[in-house]
Amino acid sequence: MGAVYVLWLRELRRYTRSRSQIVVSLAQPMLNLFAMGFGLSAVFNQVGRGSYLQFIAPGIIAMTVLFAATFSGMALLWDKQFGFLKETLVAPVSRFKIMLGRTCGAATVAMIQGTLVAFICFAVGFRPVSFAALPLAIGILALIAVVFAALGTTIGASLKDTQGFQMVANFAVTPLYFLSGAMFPLDNLPTALAIATRLDPLSYGVDGLRATLIGQAHFNVSLDITVLVTIGLGLTCIGAWRVSTIEA
């Protein structure tokens, strides 16, 4: 597991060396939190749904992890361009371990960003219904990070340039976020939209966070965890296969 640890540590160092990246990564979540969390609070309260800040905070945290984890796949293309990936591929290490190390590193970085946004949510008034459920919420957040870190690495292993990665990742990530129920309840949706939300893996991550943090669940926490674990394992295997097709 030494190779997994080295790749995990490299991804973590890549993130912590760039303070500007840390600041920029918090800009979009904070904008959504303040503009929507407070801007739509009165409307949400008028329809009897309670505090919109309480409702949207788990979705904002999940969104932060989604974007951070998915776009971490761009680092694979940078490593390919500057030759580090070639050095990794020629090492006597299985491609699955390479995929696992990069995925774990990217997931850890995404978890750090999600945790920072969570602290901001707490600072502006968000309160979980039970602090005893926080360990489970952290576990679900980790599953979200692994799923989309694996997705980002898979996309990065399948493309040849960063421009293509940005286009494909944006095309995939934006619908995943908007269909996840991060900003709106999943109750009483039109049939087509209800089906789309059920096909969105982020929906189960947001639902799991919302269930553990504010006690509101559309699906079931057990189902949420099962779906995330299944998709995470599947994407990790697919990503390992895609990495194995890269020529050293």
122-178 pLDDT, tens digit per residue, is: 988 888 988 888 999 999 999 999 999 999 988 888 887 777 788 888 888 889 999
Cα–Cα distance, 54 to 143 (Å, whole number): 22
Which span out of 89-98, 164-173, 227-236 was modeled with the highest average pLDDT? Answer: 227-236
Q: Are residues 140 and 211 in contact, defined by beta-carbon separation less than 8 angstroms?
A: no
Angle at 185 between CA 180 and CA 189, to 5 degrees: 85
C-alpha–C-alpha distance, residues 14 and 110, integer Å: 13
Report the alpha-carbon distance of residue 62 to residue 65 in Å, rounded. 5
Q: Which amino acid is at 44?
A: F
CA distances from 138 to 23, 77, 88, 178, 223 (A): 22, 29, 31, 22, 17
- Tokens 């990790």 — which residue? 236
Query: Which tokens belong to 74?
Result: 């761009």
Instruction: For residues 106-116, give the mean pLDDT.
Output: 89
Quote the number of domains for the chain: 1
pLDDT at 7: 66
Q: Are 92 and 184 in contact (CB under 8 A)?
A: no
Query: Does residue 182 contact residue 56 with C-beta atoms inside 8 Å?
Result: yes
6 has pLDDT over 70: no
**Where do runs of H (alpha helix) occur along the chain?**
2-16, 19-37, 41-46, 52-71, 74-82, 84-89, 95-123, 134-158, 162-178, 191-199, 201-214, 221-244
Is the overall model pTM greater than 0.85, yes or no?
A: yes
pLDDT digits (tens, 9 = 90+) for 24-69: 677 788 888 877 777 777 667 665 567 888 889 999 999 999 998 8
pLDDT for the residue numbered 10: 67
For residue 97, what are the domain limits?
Answer: 2-244
Distance CA(240)–CA(245), nearest Å, equals 9
Confidence (pLDDT) at 17: 60
Under DSSP, the state recorded for 159 is -
